[in-house]
Structure formats: C-alpha cells, structure tokens
C-alpha cells in the first residue's frame, strides 16, 4: 500500500518492542521499518531507514529519551511520539521536542492492549502530519523522509463555529445541505451532556444527512455533519483515505473546550484553500484567530451579520481582525458556502 507511515520504535524492552511493532502493524496505514533498544542504536536506524515518525521511550540505558530529543531534533527534525509509563518525564520530553504522548498500559489484558494500540496508532498518524517540531524555543521544519506525496486538496471541507444562538443557526444552514454536500465539522459551545442530544436532534431534523457526535478517529464523507463533543477538542486531519478527526480532552483554548479556534486552525492546516469557514452568533472571541488562519491559507470565510445574530460578538471580532471575506444574513449562508 502506498503512502504508509514509516515508523521506528525505540524502547529498551525487547518484549515491548516486539508487542508494539506487532500491534501497530495491524493498521494498514503504518509500517514498522525498524526497532532500536537505545538512543545510539536509534540514531543509526534513523539514518538508515529514514522513518516518518519515531515512537520513543524515556527511561533507557546509555542516554534517556529527553537528552536524546534535545540532541536529535536540531539535526534530524522528525515527529516523535513518546510512549512511556512515566508521565512527568514525558511532559518534559514534549518540551524537548516530542509532538505527542501515549502512556504505556499497566494491565496487559487483550482489551487493554487493543485500546492502547488504537490510541498509539492514531497519535502516530496525527504526528505524521506535523509540518514543524519545537525543541526549547526553536521551531524546526520537518523534512519528509519518505516519498509520500502532499495531501490531495481536491475536496472541500466546511467548518462552522458559534456559541449563543448557534444551535438554531446551524439548523438554518443545514436546510441547504444534501447527501452530496462537502463534509462539515461543527463546534458549538455547550456542556458535555448536551452535545449528543444536539446531534440526535439534528439527525431527526435532517434524516438525509449523516449527523454524528465526534468520535476519535472517525473519517468524514460527503453529506456528513460532525458535532464536536462537549469537553473535547475536535481537530481535523487528512491522509490518503480522506479527512478524519480526533476528539480529545484538553485545556480550554480561547476560554472553551471544545474551542472553535482549535477546530478552525486544524482545518486551515489540512484543507488549505479548500477550507470554508463560517463564524456564527456567539459571545466572546473564540474562532476569530482560527478563521483568520483559514483565510490566510487561501480558504473562503463567512461571518454572520449583526442583524441576524443573537449575540454579535464572535462574528464581530472575526470581522474586525480581517478574518471574514464576506458577511451575510443567516438565511443566505448555506447557499453561499455550497456554491463555492
């Protein structure tokens, strides 16, 4: 299969290297090209196999993972996923240059191992999309080592964000959608217990659309509308199968989790000029920064106008910072974005 993600697994435990490599190889998107037992062996394997992502333990002989990262990243900028049972040191490793962290399972039941493999594979796939890595205060551009081509930009992706009044505003926009409409991702500020109810209500209102609450790792398709889960950030990525999302707990961004800014920024990065961003009624400034990034990357952006907004806060901030290409009354937004 073309465009598989080439992975190097580095861990001092031969058993863990064998188990991790076997579990990860079950994913058709991932190819384990080599394993190493310590950083010195890993250095040689990096030069020989030129992997796309490295999975790295922290506590190892000869040199720990943190020191290795500090020396490695400036010379060999590669996305690194920490896989360790020591979370405090793992966070330090992220500061040293790792892009993500997965904790090793303490229980070795089949169910736990399968859940661990799913989580590790997802984070490796996300890490493989990184364009830069940071070590200390310096950002380094990732040099793609394999012959993987850049993501196909032929597909449109619609991203919608809002807050107060946005639940009804989204319904108004979806009236113009069909099974052939581009996939849409939606962030509306609401508590965790309400997002699944909201998705269910929209499904009943628009049975021809595939409307679901966000689940980690799900792929998007035409006619799908994905609602961000409460208390989880939704991000969109793209591989050769298409757009897919992550739905993960995290700190509040722009005052919210889920955050419109987080979702918009991920859409800008994966869809570029094929992104369509919509900022709806709501209080505050969440979404303005991310919408500006969509516009800066060549995407099309729309802001709900003052007269049809319940609270003209989020659309106003986005308009004032230059993020909005066009302001429209709510009733015209759906037709407008589907015509692009």
Q: Which residues are catalytic?
A: 163, 189, 286
Query: Any alpha helices (H) in 97-224, and if so which ranges?
Result: 110-127, 166-174, 192-205
**Cα(120)–Cα(125) distance, rounded to whole angstroms?**
9
Q: What is the DSSP string of 28-48?
A: TTEEEEEEESSHHHHHHHHHH
Query: Which is it for the CA torsion 119, 122, 128, 130, positive or negative?
Result: negative
Pairing between β-strand 210-213 and β-strand 5-10 as defined by DSSP bridges:
unpaired
Token pair recorded at residue 170: 């989204």
Long-range contacts of range 149-152, CB-CB < 8 Å, 24 or more positions apart? 149/3, 151/238, 151/239, 151/240, 151/270, 152/238, 152/240
Query: Any alpha helices (H) in the chain, and if so which ranges?
Result: 14-24, 39-49, 65-72, 87-96, 110-127, 166-174, 192-205, 260-271, 288-296, 314-320, 330-338
- Classify 74 as helix, strand or coil: coil
CA distances (Å), 154 to each of 240, 270, 274, 292, in order? 12, 12, 7, 21
H or E element, residue 210: strand 210-213
Ramachandran area for residue 284 (φ above 0: left; ψ -120 to 50: alpha; else beta): left
Q: How large is the C-alpha radius of gyration of the chain?
A: 21
CA distances (Å), 217 to each of 78, 99, 123, 238, 243, in order? 22, 18, 10, 11, 10
Residues 6+ apart with CB under 8 A from 217: 118, 122, 244, 245, 246
């Amino acid at each position: 299969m073309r465009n598989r993600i080439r992975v190097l697994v580095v861990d001092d435990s031969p058993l863990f290297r064998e188990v991790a490599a076997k579990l990860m190889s079950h994913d058709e998107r991932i190819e384990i090209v080599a394993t190493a037992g310590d950083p010195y062996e890993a250095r040689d394997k990096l030069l020989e196999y030129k992997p796309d992502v490295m999975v790295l333990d922290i506590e190892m002989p000869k040199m720990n993972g943190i020191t290795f990262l500090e020396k490695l990243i400036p010379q060999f900028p590669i996305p690194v996923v920490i896989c360790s049972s020591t979370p405090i040191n793992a966070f330090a490793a992220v500061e040293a240059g790792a892009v993500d962290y997965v904790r090793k399972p303490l229980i070795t039941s089949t169910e736990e191992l399968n859940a661990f493999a799913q989580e590790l594979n997802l984070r490796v796939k996300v890490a493989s999309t990184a364009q830069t890595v940071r070590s200390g205060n310096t950002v380094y551009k990732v040099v793609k080592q394999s012959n993987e081509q850049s993501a196909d930009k032929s597909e449109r992706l619609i991203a919608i964000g809002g807050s107060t009044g946005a639940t009804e505003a989204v319904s108004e926009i979806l009236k113009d959608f069909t099974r052939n409409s581009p996939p849409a991702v939606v962030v509306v500020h609401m508590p965790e217990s309400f997002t699944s109810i909201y998705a269910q209500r929209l499904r009943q209102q628009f049975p021809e659309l595939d409307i679901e609450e966000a689940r980690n790792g799900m792929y998007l398709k035409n006619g799908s509308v994905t609602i961000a889960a409460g208390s989880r950030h939704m991000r969109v990525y793209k591989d050769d199968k298409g757009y897919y999302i992550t739905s993960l707990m995290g700190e509040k961004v722009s005052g919210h989790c889920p955050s419109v800014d987080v979702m918009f920024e991920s859409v800008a990065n994966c869809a570029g000029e094929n992104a369509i961003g919509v900022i709806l009624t709501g209080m505050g400034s969440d979404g303005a920064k991310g919408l500006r990034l969509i516009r800066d990357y060549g995407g099309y952006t729309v802001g709900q106008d003052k007269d049809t907004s319940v609270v003209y806060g989020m659309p106003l901030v986005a308009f004032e910072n230059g993020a909005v290409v066009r302001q429209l009354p709510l009733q015209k937004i759906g037709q407008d974005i589907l015509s692009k």
